[in-house]
Amino acid sequence: MSKKDMEEEVKEAELDEEAEEVTEGTEQEEADPKDEQIAQLKDQLLRTMAEFDNYRKRTAKERMELEPEITAKNLKEFLPVIDNIERALAAECSDENYKKGIEMIYESFTSALVNLGVEAIGTEGEQFNPAYHQAVQQVEDDSKEEGTIASVFQKGYKIGEKVLRFAMVAVVK
């Protein structure tokens, strides 16, 4: 198609549009405010939908960021319970069935914590790490290497890389 042919088609299209405008006349003038209002409402609806979608995405992201914090806070409340169960296991007891029941409770509780992703921190012979351990005492022990944990006073726990409670330990100096 040549340039002249294209120009003629454009002119014909413009003439057709003008003819339609003349025939509609007053009807189009009345329809324009309604069309504008419809266009405004559509625009407003699209903006509201986009705003709501952004809100939904933002709250989902915030929820995902807060979930580990909430889980850690709730699990911290259970740590004294497991400490008390460990003390009960360490205590002398003449009733074997009672002791066996406490052991079963302890195993159930620790397996529940493991299923939630909680790991115990601080075992004797492990290398001291200030990111996970709190040294409350230094001891001399020639049989162990310097900087290793000599004894654990209170177990620590972590979930992922977040420490729930630091292990209180004695370190060989």
The pLDDT assigned to 142 comes to 81
In terms of phi and psi (left: phi > 0; alpha: psi -120 to 50; beta: otherwise), the region of 140 is beta
Please give the DSSP secondary-structure letter assigned to residue 127: B
What domain range includes position 127? 119-173
- Asked, for residue 136, whether it belongs to a domain, the answer is yes
Interatomic CA distance for residues 106 and 111, integer angstroms: 8
The pLDDT assigned to 151 comes to 92
Intervals of the chain under pLDDT 70: 1-31
Contact by Cβ (8 Å): 115, 148? no
The pLDDT assigned to 43 comes to 95
**156: nearest Cα among 145, 140, 167, 143:** 167
The pLDDT assigned to 95 comes to 93
Determine what percent of the chain is predicted with pLDDT higher than 90: 66
- Asked, for residue 133, whether it belongs to a domain, the answer is yes
- Other CB atoms within 10 Å distance of the CB of residue 169: 27
The domain that contains 168 carries what CATH number? 2.30.22.10
pLDDT per residue over 140-156, tens digit each?
Answer: 988 888 889 999 999 99
The pLDDT assigned to 18 comes to 60
- Asked, for residue 157, whether it belongs to a domain, the answer is yes
The pLDDT assigned to 96 comes to 93
In order of 28, 68, 77, 126, 154, the CA distances from 133 in angstroms are: 80, 21, 19, 10, 10
Please give the full DSSP string across 48-82, using - where no structure is assigned.
HHHHHHHHHHHHHHHHHHHHHHHHHHHHHTTHHHH
- Asked, for residue 138, whether it belongs to a domain, the answer is yes
| Residue ranges in the chain assigned as alpha helix (H) | 3-24, 26-76, 79-90, 96-115
DSSP helix/strand/coil, 152? strand
- Asked, for residue 142, whether it belongs to a domain, the answer is yes
Interatomic CA distance for residues 173 and 170, integer angstroms: 9
Overall number of domains in the chain: 1
Relative to beta strand 167-172, strand 133-139 is parallel
- Asked, for residue 52, whether it belongs to a domain, the answer is no
Sorted by sequence, the CB contacts under 8 Å of residue 160 that are 6+ apart come out as 68, 117
